[in-house]
Structures are given as structure tokens and as C-alpha cells.
Amino acid sequence: MRTSTVYRFLSGRLVAALAALFAIPALAGDTNTASSPSRQCETPYAEHGVYETLIVYLIDEIVEGPVFLPIDSDRNTFAYRESAYHFFRERFGLDFDPGNPDLQVLSGPDGDANVFPLKTGEGSTHQVYGIDAQNVPQWRHKMPMTRIALFDDGYFVTLDSDYVVRGTYGGDDGIVLPAGTQFVFGEYRMFDHRGRLLDTLRYKSSIPVTAGPVGGSFEFSNGAVFINIACDIESDIFGEGNVRSLAELTPLPDGRTDLDFRYVMKFPARLSDAPDVENPKCRTIRPLRRATH
């Protein structure tokens, strides 16, 4: 099943859950932006099967040049690297030097790995397609929302050989992961069409990106690569959640790349953790009809 087919299924479900299409006050010049979320209209989210915040974003285009580029030097700061490399060390036992701003290679008895600072290429911007933020009135029930985009940069680890991963993921005895496995740590910065920064969302791998039935990267005979990535995420506005993505990259004969990416962010990560606060005056969510057998 192509990721576009999966997305059509997901978007169909989202249309049922998201409400009407109308403009965002922040984009029309309203000074009351999402940096001041309102808590006056909370609803019993878990009871009605609705997340506090749901964001859908995508790349669906053919691009020239590389899909990923080296991170901008002003973004590749010591503090940014220190946070990323601390995570890789604690979570997976990979010890990179934050003092080195460039490509690094680890080689030892556990295997070979590298880390590289990358950003999404100029021609492959993550376009926000839909957002439903229950506690931010101007971002409630927006689909599609075509003038907000996410810019992605961070640090990408690739295992160059089978590797004994330790840390909190592999434990003292370690877990052997195959060559090609990846881990990520980075940030999405959300901008409106005027270039205003709306939110920063920090992500990190919750599980390895590796070939297997639970998720990972698979290469097909036409050269296309299918990737399934799972990350924990933290937003300045929406708090803690997770992001799940399906991505297909297909090289074309003329050197361009056909990108078909679909991402869904959920806040909180689990529906069971959604707040359950009753306020009848502000109930904007209609309960989903449960299927009966």
C-alpha cells in the first residue's frame, strides 16, 4: 500500500474528527496568537475519543537536488549538539563528541556508526495540512491550513555495521541492531506565511529506525525507500506527545526525487492521558459514533 493510500485513509478519518474549514486569525493579522493558549474551553477529550491537539503535515512533491543538506552553521550550536549527543549516549550508548560540529565516525568492538548534522532540503518543506488544537481557539478545527510550514533540522545517526546498542534501550548486555539502523534528534520550527516563528517542537527517536515488522526502512526494486519513524516530541505550546511518520522516497531517471511523506503528531501521546475537564458552555466536539457489530 503506497503512503498516499495510507494518507487518504488517515485524512478521511481526520475529516470526520476535524470540523469546518475557516481562516486562522493569526494569519489575518490577529495579535492573539497561539503563544497564549486559552484554557477557557476545555472539553472531556478522552471521553469523546479526541486528542487535545492533532497536527497533520506532509511533503508531496518532486524535488531537485538532495533531500537533506548540512545543517546551517548558526543552528549547529554546541548546546544543540550537546543535547542531541547526550540523548544518543544515554538512550543508545553512542558516545559522540559535542565539540565536533561535523561528521563523526565511531569505530570499536561494538561496531561502526556515524552522526551527521542535517536539515530538510530547500525544496522539501513540511507543509501543515491540518491542525486541531482544542486549547488554542484560533487553531481549532483547521483543515486544510496551507500557509503554515515546518522546517526540520537535527542530528542523524546511522549504524554502518551491525552494532551492539547499549544505554537505556539496550541495557548493559546490549542489543545487536543491523547495519543501516538510524536514530534521530532534532527540532521542527513552525512558521506562518509571514516568517513568524509560531512554535518549536523537539523530537527524538523512541525506537530505532530499522528494517522489521514494527517499523523501519525498506528498499524496493525500483530504488524507492519506505521509512516508518516513531519519535517522542515536546512542543513549547502543546506539551509532550509523539509523532508517527510514513515516508517514501523514489529516485527518478532525471535525477530528481519523488517525495511522499505523511506525519501525524498527537498531544498527549496516548488518548488515555488526555485531560477530562467538563465545561458544557464550550463543548465543540461531537462524540464519535462507535462502530457496532
Locate cell 481562516: which residue?
A: 23
The domain spans of the chain are 3-28+46-282
Radius of gyration of the chain (CA): 20
Nine-digit cell at 58?
506532509
Query: How much is the pTM?
Result: 0.73
Nine-digit cell at 225?
525507500
Residuewise pLDDT in 10s, the chain (293 residues): 443 433 333 333 333 333 322 233 333 333 334 443 444 444 445 555 567 888 888 888 888 877 788 999 999 999 999 999 999 999 999 999 999 999 999 999 999 999 999 987 665 567 888 888 877 777 777 777 667 888 889 999 999 999 999 999 999 999 999 888 899 999 999 888 888 998 999 999 998 886 443 344 555 556 677 777 889 999 988 889 999 887 788 888 898 888 888 889 998 877 777 665 444 444 444 444 444 44
C-beta separation of 279 from 38 below 8 A: no
In terms of Cα–Cα distance, which of 134, 129, 130 is closest to 48? 134
Nine-digit cell at 134?
482544542
The number of angstroms, rounded, from the C-alpha of 33 to the middle of its chain's C-alpha atoms is 22
